[in-house]
Structures are given as C-alpha cells and as structure tokens.
Amino acid sequence: MTGTAPTALPLLRVRGLEKKFATTDPPTRVLEGIDLDVRRGEFLAIMGASGSGKSTLLYSVSGMDRPTAGTVELDGDELTTLGDRTLSAIRLTRMGFVFQQARFLENLSVRDNVLLPALRAGKLGARQAEATVDGLLERFGIAHIAHHGVTEASGGQLQRASLARALATDPAIVFADEPTGALDSAMTREVLDALTDVHADGTTILLVTHDPVCAARAERLIRLRDGVIAAEREQGLWAPEDEGARERGVLDWLAHHDFRQQPGSGRGEVFDG
C-alpha cells in the first residue's frame, strides 16, 4: 500500500489521443494529445468552435474511427487495438449514439426502429426487449406514435426516439453529437429534458455541442482548441431552477476562454474569437 486512496476506475480513459487526416496535403492534425477521463455516471459536454475536432474526438473514443495514436479504455478494456468486428460488437452492446440527424428505416414504425438494435444486441429476450422499448417510448412521451411511420414524427419526437433507441441496449455510455443541432428551442428543451432525466438515472453521457443551452445541462465542460483541451469547467448537477444562472455561467466561462458570441445569435453559438 502506498497510502494513497484508491481512485475509482473511470468509465472512459483516454490518453495521448491524436488524430490526423492524411487525405490532405499537408495532413490535417485535428487532435494533438488528448488526455481525458469520463467518470462513471458523469454528464460531460465537449465544446469548441466549428472545426475544432469535437466530432473527431467523439468518433475516435467511440470506435467509429481509428485514432492515429493514443489509447482509449472503456471500463478497463483497451479499444484501439481491437479488430473491426469486436469493436462493432462493443459499440452495439456497450455504447449508445445520438446524432444531429437521426437515421431511421422508413419502412419500419418508430417502435420497430427503436427495438431493432435492442434485439440485435441480444442482451434481452424479445419479450423483455419489447417491454424495455415500450417503457422508453412512454418515458419520453412518444408512446402515442409508437406504431406510426418515422416520416410522420416531428424532429423533436425523432430525437427522443433516437435517444430511446440508444438506451434500449442498456449501454454503459451514451455519445451524443449535437443532438439538438437541427431543432428549434422548444424541441431542444424536450430533448435536453430527456437527456437530463437519463443522466439522473445514472447513465454516463458524453455530449458534443456548441450551444450553451445544451452545455448548461452537463456536470462538466471541456473546451477544445488547437487540438488540445484548452479549458475545463466543473458545474455540478443541473437543477431546473438554476437554468438561467447556468447558461450565464457557461457564457461567462466561454467569454473568459476566448470565445465570442455570434453577433445577433439568439442561441449564443460559440466561435473562436
């Protein structure tokens, strides 16, 4: 024993992560050495200007893309050395994904779209998977459109269906890349409330956003710039009564770290100043 208290293993442990794209000349160096721990049950938001590498970071730590260097451990399992099939299986069973533009199979109902990955993941029998999915649709206020086609659903309903689909496999972590990027502010709130509720239930969330309204929901913020983590902010658990103060807090933090608000932007999207 060294006398130091044992530290809990982070759910996601990223060390020395680098990503460059060799398709351009000179190569585009996007991530230049990222060290990041995501705690179990944490809600972490990654912020940064457009092109700062937020999506690249999310893809590189979730096995959607291969980093150029560095290590990524999920619950102690090193991902970067795994083969494609093993990595796909891990994505299916241990990770959930929500993107700005959710893709659904248009010939299937909302419910069947949500159910499909849960059945493929194979953690639950068909009956249990169906019960889980029905529970999620109810919880996110979209049970009434369960049997509708996805083309009949609104953008906000589809994003909540997308979150239900991500959760139906009971993942260890949910990765969300600008999940409200295509929504108006009322629908954004619906999706953020769902995400906040999921986090309160213990799910670990890694959210990529450039919207302070979204970032206000997270417990911790990191800001990417020039390929590295340039700033970090701990802001504790979200509570509805703190909404205004938290959004102001995020904007102040961004202002102190060289972001400026887009002139005339009601949503306060962030750009490098």
Question: Does position 28 bind ligand ATP by CB under 6 A?
Answer: yes
User: Which amino acid is it at 238?
Assistant: W
Q: What is the DSSP letter of 152?
A: G
| Cβ-count burial 72-105 (b if 16+ within 10 Å, e if not) | bbbeeeebbeeeeeebeebbbbbbbbbbbebebe
Q: Is 71 in the site for ligand ATP (CB under 6 A)?
A: no
Asked if 54 and 45 count as a contact pair (C-beta separation under 8 A), the reply is: no
Q: Which is nearer to ligand ATP, 55 or 235 (CB)?
A: 55
The residue length of the chain stands at 273
The answer to whether the CB of 176 falls within 8 A of the CB of 98 is: yes
The CB density around residue 202, as the number of other CB atoms within 10 Å, is 8
Residue 214 binds to ligand ATP (criterion: CB under 6 A)? no
For residues 206 and 12, is the Cβ–Cβ distance under 8 A? Answer: yes
Residue entry with tokens 């994904």: 97
179 binding ligand ATP? (CB under 6 A)? no
Q: Does 20 bind ligand ATP (CB under 6 A)?
A: no
- Report the residue number, 23 or 107, with the smaller CB distance to ligand ATP: 23
Pick the binder of ligand ATP from 33, 35, 50, 101 (CB under 6 A). Answer: 50
Cβ closer to Mg ion: 133 or 205?
Answer: 205
Interface pick for Mg ion out of 10, 12, 55, 60 (rule CB under 5 A): 55
Indicate whether 51 belongs to the interface with ligand ATP (CB under 6 A).
yes
Give pairs for 134-143: CB < 8 Å, separation 24+: 136/164, 136/167, 136/168, 137/110, 137/111, 137/161, 137/164, 139/164, 139/194, 139/197, 140/164, 140/194, 141/190, 142/110
Q: Which of residues 99 and 104 has its CB atom nearest to ligand ATP in the complex?
A: 99
Minimum gap (Å) between residue 118 Cβ and Mg ion: 27
Q: Give the interface segment with ligand ATP, choosing from 21-29, 78-86, 105-113, 195-203 (CB under 6 A).
A: 21-29
Among 4, 24, 107, 151, binds ligand ATP (CB under 6 A): 24
Strand partners, 208: 46, 177
| Among 10, 56, 63, 158, contact with ligand ATP (rule: CB under 6 A) | 56
Closer residue to Mg ion, CB minimum distance, 55 or 113: 55
Query: Of these partners, Mg ion, ligand ATP, none, which one is at the site of residue 30 (CB under 5 to 8 Å by kind)?
Result: ligand ATP
14 in helix, strand or coil?
A: strand
Report if residue 25 touches ligand ATP, rule: CB under 6 A. no
169 belongs to the binding site for ligand ATP (CB under 6 A): no
How far apart CA 82 and CA 223 sit, in angstroms, is: 29
151 is a contact residue toward ligand ATP (CB under 6 A): no
- Nearer CB in complex with ligand ATP: 56/132: 56
Among residues 13, 42, 53, 79, which is the contact residue for ligand ATP, using CB under 6 A?
53
Reduced to 3 states (helix: H, G, I; strand: E, B; else coil), residue 69 is strand
Task: Give the interface with ligand ATP as residue ranges (CB under 6 A).
Answer: 21, 23-24, 28, 30, 48, 50-56, 210
